[in-house]
Amino acid sequence: MAFSFKPALRKLGLAPLKLRWLLIAACALGAWSLLHAGHEAPSAPHPGAPDVAKQASAAGVAAPGSVSRGPASAPATAAAQKKPVESALFGLATSNVIVNHNDTLDGIFRRLKLRLSDLASLRGLPGLKARLDSLRPGESLRLMHRDGSLFGLERRLNEAETLKVVREGSGLKADVLQNPLEARPRIVRGVINSSLFEAVGAAGGHDQTAVALADIFGWDIDFVLDIQPGDSFVVSYQELYQDGVYVKDGPIQAALFINQGRQYRAVRYVDPEGNAHFYTPDGRSMHKAFLRTPVEFTRVSSRFNSARLHPILNTIRAHKGVDYAAPIGTPVRAAGEGRIRYAGPKGGYGNVVEIDHTRSIVTVYGHLSRFAKGTRVGQHVTQGTVIAYVGMTGLATGPHLHYEYRVNGVFKNPQTVSLPDAEPIDARWRPDFLAHSAPLLACLETPLGSALVAR
């Protein structure tokens, strides 16, 4: 049913023409109000009314209609979750990078599409180049960036120092933040029943101290073959704590090891040039010029023998070295400092490396699976450098390292040959060494009663 305004208008006494002008006036008034509304200042909040902006800020969210400059709230959608973490102040993307083997900062910048000019600026800062180029596989780097520009970088240099780089008005600035470690002296005593690791653990020590003990005395004692039940040790070192929490063991200060009734003592000394080495109480180096064994092995599969039955040729043939059984790919290290004179295949040796050393000594490493990068004829190597990897090339029935030690062309038994010492304490520093080492060595003799551990 149609509805007509005319009866209502008659009751109000309004003619249609008058109504039309009233409608036009109302529309004009509404348009004027809308035009001027955007220029009015916001009214002050009523006393006692909640401040929405302050409440939103305290809650960590943006107030309605405002731009958030605080920490971003959790993303609401799956698409938002894929976006980089935003910086509270600048809206920066944050990339946490785990350093891979052979990674460089240059390569990381390229992967993140960051400006290499920023990297050049970083390296130009005083003392920063060395702190940036010595990346360690597995460590974490934190980079803050926007539109290809670097705004921040954090790298933990060690347990006590963190490198922090920020962009300021004048450019990039670097600081090393200090979080010092607290050193707590400790002495651990133990008796070996089965293994050094078990004995150190039973005495309350950590595996890294067991490894350090083996490293110190490893030139005199074969910790795989020579250790006997009843052998004992005393070791003095420091435990390092940060904010009351244990971090790691510090370097050993002094140690005593008794192997089959024979006593070995060692003390750590840092010379005035900053070099740290272990010496006997009279100043002879604990290190030898050669490693006793150049590979971590599971067992000796064949010893030095002048009349061995060859397992493949089935003939009596002298075995002029020692075979160390180890998985394929186990690193093989140079036994001493020298120069590579041969690296390649050689008959029954398979892949082999030969190294010339001083004093007419030659070491030979056979049956290798492959050579390490940089292993080539003429290359100078230092003791402990990885030169190759265990294999079973040539005449070999299983994966192992065949190791030979020759003096003036004469084959010597690597397990029993007398190894030449490294350099003794410098005569200039001998008085300081004796004064420094005396109290450290005295700690090893302090009786602890029935206790195995002294803190």
For 390, which DSSP code?
A: E
Q: Domain tally for the chain? A: 3
For residue 345, what is the domain's CATH number? 2.70.70.10
Residue of 170, 180, 253, 164 lying closest to 216 (CA atoms): 253
Token pair for residue 393?
């090339």
Determine phi and psi for 333, rounding to 5 degrees: -110, 150
Q: Quote the CA–CA distance of 450 and 254 in Å, as a whole number.
A: 21
Strand, coil or helix: 327? coil
Q: Is the residue at 131 inside a domain? A: yes
Q: Is the residue at 157 inside a domain? A: yes
What pLDDT does 126 receive?
Answer: 81
CA atoms within 13 A on the CB side of 202: 15
Residue of 126, 218, 106 lying closest to 176 (CA atoms): 126
| Residue 237 and residue 144 share a domain | no
| Residue 303 and residue 271 share a domain | no
What pLDDT does 41 receive?
Answer: 38
**Helix (H) or strand (E) run with residue 33 in it:** helix 16-37
| Residue 283 and residue 230 share a domain | yes
Q: Is the residue at 310 inside a domain? A: yes
| Residue 311 and residue 257 share a domain | no
For residue 133, what is the domain's CATH number? 3.10.450.350
pTM: 0.53
What pLDDT does 421 receive?
Answer: 80
| Residue 309 and residue 383 share a domain | yes
CB 276 within 8 A of CB 212: no
Determine phi and psi for 90, rounding to 5 degrees: -115, -5
What range does the domain containing 361 cover?
299-412
Q: Work out the angle at residue 303's Cα, subtended by the Cα atoms of residues 299 and 305, and round it to the nearest 5 degrees.
A: 170
Residue of 170, 139, 132, 137 lying closest to 153 (CA atoms): 132
What pLDDT does 442 receive?
Answer: 92
CB 293 within 8 A of CB 370: no
Q: Walk along the chain (455 residues) and give the pLDDT tens digit of each residue.
A: 444 444 444 444 555 555 556 566 666 666 555 554 444 333 344 443 444 333 333 333 333 333 333 333 333 333 333 333 334 445 788 989 998 888 888 899 999 999 999 888 888 888 777 777 788 888 889 989 989 889 988 888 887 788 888 888 888 888 888 888 889 999 999 999 988 989 999 999 998 899 899 889 988 887 877 889 999 999 999 999 988 888 889 999 999 999 999 999 999 999 998 889 999 999 999 988 888 888 876 667 565 455 444 454 455 445 688 899 889 999 999 999 999 999 999 998 999 999 999 989 999 999 999 999 999 999 999 998 999 999 999 988 889 999 999 999 999 998 888 888 888 899 999 999 999 999 999 989 855 433 333 33
User: For the residues of 227-265, what is the DSSP string, one character each?
Assistant: --TT-EEEEEEEEEEETTEEEEE----EEEEEETTEEEE
Residue of 386, 380, 336, 382 lying closest to 219 (CA atoms): 336
Residue of 298, 295, 278 lying closest to 335 (CA atoms): 295
What pLDDT does 52 receive?
Answer: 36
| Residue 162 and residue 222 share a domain | no
Buried b (16+ CB within 10 A) or exposed e, 292-330: bbbbebeebbbebeeeeeeeeeeeebebbbbbbbbeeeb
What pLDDT does 156 receive?
Answer: 86
User: For the residues of 103-129, what is the DSSP string, one character each?
Assistant: --HHHHHHHTT--HHHHHHHHHSTTTH
Token pair for residue 175?
């600081």
Using alpha carbons only, how large is the chain's radius of gyration in Å?
38
| Sheet with 85-86: strands ordered across | 85-86, 93-98, 140-146, 149-158, 161-168, 171-178
Strand, coil or helix: 211? helix
| Beta-carbon count within 10 A of 178 CB | 8
| Residue 205 and residue 174 share a domain | no
Determine phi and psi for 107, rounding to 5 degrees: -65, -40
Residue of 193, 221, 230, 414 lying closest to 319 (CA atoms): 414
Q: Is the residue at 94 inside a domain? A: yes
- 374: phi > 0 → left, psi -120 to 50 → alpha, else beta; which? left
The answer to whether the Cα torsion of 406, 407, 408, 411 is positive or negative is negative
CB 391 within 8 A of CB 328: yes
Token pair for residue 324?
């160390």
Of 145, 178, 211, which one is at a domain's C-terminal end? 178
The answer to whether the Cα torsion of 216, 217, 223, 227 is positive or negative is negative
Q: Is the residue at 52 inside a domain? A: no
| Residue 249 and residue 144 share a domain | no
CB 163 within 8 A of CB 154: yes
| Residue 305 and residue 392 share a domain | yes
| Residue 404 and residue 313 share a domain | yes
Token pair for residue 98?
């785990």
